[in-house]
Amino acid sequence: MSISDKKQAWEEKVAKGLTKAPERRKEFNTSSDLTMERCFTPGFDYPGYEEQLGLPGEFPYTRGVQPTMYRGRFWTMRQYAGFGNAKESNERYKYLLSAGQTGLSIAFDLPTQMGYDSDAGMSLGEVGKVGVAIDSLADMEILFDGIPLDKVSTSMTINSTAAILLCMYIAVAEKQGVSAEKISGTIQNDILKEYMARGTYIYPPKESMRIITDIFAYCKDNVPKWNTISISGYHIREAGSSAVQEVAFTLADGIAYVDAAIKVGLDVDEFAPRLAFFFNSHNNLFEEVAKFRAARRMWARIMKERFGAKDPKSLMLRFHTQTAGCTLTAQQPDNNIMRVTIQALAAVLGGTQSLHTNSRDEALALPTEDSVRIALRTQQVLAYESGVADSVDPLAGSFLVESLTDQIETAALEYIQKIDKLGGAVEAISRGFQQKEIQDSAYAYQRSIETDDLIIVGVNKFTVQEPPPKDLLRVKEAVEIGQKKFLAELKAGRDNVAVAESLKALEVAARGTENLLPPILAAVKVYATLGEISNVFREVFGVHRETVVL
């Protein structure tokens, strides 16, 4: 008898009173208000699940995008790092690679993210603080000195200035003798979540979307191994969203990017295989596992049914995961090791392609080398000692996980339908829809902590008196002084006529319709700075003003 026959026979027995359905007693809800039953049982709670799951590596990819998953190879262990100047960050990258990290993940300082050089007035006090300062190709050359770019995959968390940093990376690779066709990695390049959750935008949405689709088109022909966007739910969750909102708003952004690319004439199967995603991993283990599985299934169906994609790679939601920075506490920071372990386990059980584990001291300062090593070792212990990678999708068929997967999918699709009715993600953001939903969720979460409905160990329960932490990593003021001096020397020594000509050519391209990547690359190669290039776009495109949510 098939599963569907068993289900029908069981339902008939219930209808005739020959058997009794177990009482549904709600034990509690998840952070997304999903039902968590006291006990999940076969038949009643999730009948027929075997028919819906399929196999790993097959549509709709609920169980993973690869048939063997970690039986073939582990996820990429990619620790997010960068601080101070390029030389200091280069030393940290080499340290991480020597400790067994398998990919680089670059953090840039706020001026770099916002399109300002280190000597700009807006950069005062922020140079090198939350990431590495990159003003020009000269900094990028130092950043990757001694790191072969044909052998290392690099992820760059950069959005508004993503095209500029990508061109710098291409230029560094060429100086190493590595062609653009051989480099691999990812730029985040997800501007829509900046408008709704993070704030490091520069230009208005229409112009930002043009830059993004230009990147899609350029990389399709010139940098084929590069993931052109990492559509990010991470920062949406960090801003306070629920798990359901994280999935819904991220996939809605993905739909907007695909729509935009198709409208400029790209075939969906030309660019969709290089789309990647970036998710958060929170503390509720099973909800997070279900979230990843639901997102994969939803994206596969969206690409197939909504956009008519035919290449299987276009249907695969490949994603990087970072553990939840917003869950880390300054109180009893060693507790963060346990939190990160649970979150990393959820990412692995959920089938992530790469993973960053946060360090215990990140609620206080940039992580020390000791803290970074513990975070990396957490991944390595999971990979080599825990056994969770020995089986593909080991939680498949769990009544709890499958129920949560279905609930997340249903609730997230309802959000996407609301966004569609508002005119899509860009229009919904302009109306403040996503921002308001995230704010309401963040408020409810904070209130639950203040009322002790949600226990945070060491914060509102099990507290202790503890001395101020020692040996924290601080970026010294000398970094900013040194960076400004290095930039001044660069500007004095470069061919400024060539720089001026390249910036003029970039302005002409920006005012027209040609792809912006070639003129950006030409400007980068003559050492035009990130700020100079960004200012050309500010002049042509204007700047975006934040939507006020009432």
State residue 24's pLDDT score.
Answer: 41
Cα 524 from Cα 535, distance rounded (Å): 14
The answer for residues whose C-beta is within 8 angstroms of residue 112's C-beta and 6 or more apart is 131, 132, 133, 134, 135, 158, 161, 165, 530
Question: What's the Rg (C-alpha) of the chain?
Answer: 24
Average pLDDT over residues 206-235: 96
Domain locations along the chain: 52-450
Say yes or no to pLDDT of 23 above 50: no
- Nearest CA-CA partner of 94 in 152, 38, 47: 152
State residue 27's pLDDT score.
Answer: 52
State residue 22's pLDDT score.
Answer: 45
Say which CATH class 52-450 falls into: alpha beta
Higher pLDDT, residue 64 or 37: 64
The answer for residues whose C-beta is within 8 angstroms of residue 384's C-beta and 6 or more apart is none
Say yes or no to pLDDT of 290 above 60: yes
Got the DSSP string for 97-122?
A: HHTT--SEEEEB-HHHHHT--TTSGG
- Nearest CA-CA partner of 527 in 134, 144, 115: 134
The answer for residues whose C-beta is within 8 angstroms of residue 540's C-beta and 6 or more apart is 507, 510, 511
Stretch among 35-49, 318-332, 415-429 having the lowest mean pLDDT: 35-49
- Please work out, in degrees rounded to the nearest 5, the angle formed at the alpha carbon of residue 352 by the alpha carbons of 172 and 409: 125
Average pLDDT over residues 514-519: 98
Average pLDDT over residues 372-384: 96
149-197 confidence digits (pLDDT tens): 999 999 999 999 999 999 999 999 999 999 999 999 999 999 999 999 9
Cα 238 from Cα 416, distance rounded (Å): 20
pTM, two decimal places: 0.89
Amino acid 417 reads Q
Average pLDDT over residues 490-495: 97
Average pLDDT over residues 344-367: 95
Say yes or no to pLDDT of 228 above 60: yes
- The 3-class secondary structure across 319-380, one letter per residue, is EEEEECHHHCCCCCCCHHHHHHHHHHHHHHHCCCCEEECCCCCCCCCECCHHHHHHHHHHHH
435-475 confidence digits (pLDDT tens): 999 999 999 999 999 999 999 999 999 999 988 788 888 88
Cα 182 from Cα 214, distance rounded (Å): 20
**Strand pairing of 275-281 and 26-29?**
unpaired
Average pLDDT over residues 21-50: 58
Say yes or no to pLDDT of 218 above 80: yes
Cα 300 from Cα 292, distance rounded (Å): 13
Average pLDDT over residues 78-86: 88
State residue 535's pLDDT score.
Answer: 98
How does residue 48 score in pLDDT terms, banded at 50, 70 and 90? low
107-142 confidence digits (pLDDT tens): 999 999 999 999 999 999 999 999 999 999 999 999
CA atoms within 13 A on the CB side of 426: 14
Say yes or no to pLDDT of 47 above 90: no
- Please work out, in degrees rounded to the nearest 5, the angle formed at the alpha carbon of residue 343 by the alpha carbons of 313 and 404: 70
State residue 548's pLDDT score.
Answer: 63
State residue 49's pLDDT score.
Answer: 57
Token reading at 229: 């966007």
**Strand pairing of 26-29 and 35-37?**
antiparallel
Give the count of beta carbons closer than 10 Å to the beta carbon of residue 149. Answer: 22
User: What residues form DSSP beta bridges with 275?
Assistant: 229
State residue 38's pLDDT score.
Answer: 62
Say yes or no to pLDDT of 25 above 50: no
- The 3-class secondary structure across 286-306, one letter per residue, is HHHHHHHHHHHHHHHHHHHHH
Higher pLDDT, residue 432 or 103: 432
Q: How many residues does the chain have?
A: 550
State residue 8's pLDDT score.
Answer: 65
Cα 355 from Cα 169, distance rounded (Å): 22
State residue 17's pLDDT score.
Answer: 67
